[in-house]
């Protein structure tokens, strides 16, 4: 079934709003920038007071410069690759992204290959918070 050109998702027998293109496109751009290790483009999509899940060490980091430091540290230890597979708007200004995550050591050996969910909260057109959840 189509709704205004966007796929309509049915979840637990209830209709869920399709993710509006601006948020989905912003998140696709963020994932593409992360994959290219393009820090400036990825960080430009974050709110100045962003709260970002630290999947490596636990907890959260706060602000784009802390996210920069976290990613830089992470990429010096492992090679994480994340591929978004689906986008679902949960409530206003919140999007859940189903992600295939493959983590390799720096020699290329696979350390983890699994599905995860990334939950994003927006403020305006910028990511305000990102959490990692189990699918």
The whole-number pLDDT of residue 21 equals 62
Nearest CA to 89 out of 1, 6, 31, 30 is that of 6
In this predicted structure, what is the pLDDT of residue 20? 52
Question: pLDDT category, 92, cuts 50, 70, 90?
Answer: confident
Contact 84, 29 (CB under 8 A): no
Mean pLDDT check: name the lowest of 2-11, 65-74, 92-101, 124-133: 2-11
Tokens for 94? 């919140």
Condensed to tens digits (0 to 9), the pLDDT of residues 32-50 reads 999 999 999 999 999 999 9
Report the predicted TM-score, pTM, of the whole model to 2 decimal places: 0.82
Reduced to 3 states, what is the DSSP secondary structure of residue 44?
coil
* Average pLDDT of the chain, as a whole number: 87
Rounded CA gap, 102 and 107, in Å? 14
pLDDT tens by residue, 100-115: 999 999 999 999 999 9
> What pLDDT digit, counting tens, does each position of 63-76 carry?
999 999 999 999 99
CATH for 21-133 is 3.10.450.50
């Amino acid at each position: 079934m189509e709704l205004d050109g966007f796929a309509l998702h049915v979840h637990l027998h209830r209709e869920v709003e399709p993710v509006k293109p601006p948020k989905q496109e912003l998140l696709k751009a963020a994932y593409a920038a992360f994959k290219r290790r393009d820090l400036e483009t990825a960080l430009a999509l974050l709110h100045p007071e962003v709260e970002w899940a630290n999947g490596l060490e636990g907890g959260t980091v706060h602000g784009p410069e802390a996210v920069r430091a976290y990613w830089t540290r992470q990429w010096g230890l492992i090679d994480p690759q994340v591929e978004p597979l689906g986008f679902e708007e949960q409530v206003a200004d919140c999007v859940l992204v189903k992600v295939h995550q493959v983590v390799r050591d720096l020699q290329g050996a696979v350390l983890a290959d699994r599905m995860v969910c990334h939950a994003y909260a927006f403020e305006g057109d910028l990511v305000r918070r990102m959490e990692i959840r189990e699918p």
